Structure 1
Amino acid sequence: MIHEIAELTIQPGTNAAFEAAVAQAVPLFQRARGCVSMRLDRTFERPETYRLVIGWQTLEDHTVHFRGSEDFQAWRALVGSFFAEAPKVEHIETVVTGFGS
């Protein structure tokens, strides 16, 4: 399994509307091929900065199947207008688990 971590910086003052739009998008991820988890975290020090963390079974489930889907277009339609800059996306894999999840 891999995790997509997207750093999202939104327009100031749009937090509540952005968070509502992400909540509305949850079903898009739930039905996406290979998507096993999804969460949105907000940064304390920079309240307009979020981390979207999505678990995928394979990298291609995100980069090929989801990105090439109508649901990806729907996702961008829901949240794209909130972005103050282009999202920064990385994919990670766990190599050591010390404890916890």
Structure 2
Amino acid sequence: MILEAVILHVKPSLESDFEATFKKASKIISSMEGYLSHELHKCIEVKGKYLLLVRWETLESHTVGFRNSPGFQEWKKLLHHFYDPSPTVEHFEEIEI
């Protein structure tokens, strides 16, 4: 399992619109092959800052499958105009302890 962690900075005064649109866009990502789950968190200390966590079966499920899909183009169309600057995306693998 791969955990994708994304820091999103939503433009001022667009938070409510972003959250409503994200609910619609969630249907896109959740339909992708290799998708396991996702969650969106709103930062308490910094207005307009969000953390998106997405669990994928493999790194390629995200970097190849999702990003090369027509669904990703729709995802971008719905969401990317809310961000400034562009999102920071990193991938993590679990360490067994």
TM-score computed with the length of structure 2 as normaliser:
0.96
Aligned partner of 2:54 in structure 1 is 54
Equivalent residues in 2 for 1:68-87 (5 A)?
68-87=68-87
Once residues 47 and 19 of structure 1 are traced to their aligned partners in structure 2, the CA distance between those partners, rounded to angstroms, is 13
Structure 1 unaligned blocks of 5 or more? none
- TM alignment of 1:5-44, pairs within 5 A: 5-44=5-44
> How big is each residue's C-alpha offset from its partner over 1:34-67, in whole Å with a ceiling of 9 and x where there is no partner?
0000111111111211111100000000000100
Tell me by how many angstroms 1:96 deviates.
3.8
2-structure distance, mates of 1:52, 1:35? 14
Instruction: Please give the alpha-carbon distance, in whole angstroms, between the structure 2 residues aligned to 1:12 and 1:84.
Output: 9
How large is the RMSD of aligned CA atoms in angstroms? 0.9
- Determine helix, strand or coil for the equivalent of 1:68: coil
Aligned-residue sequence identity (percent) comes to 36
* Unpaired stretches in structure 2, ≥5 consecutive residues: none
SS at match of 1:91: strand
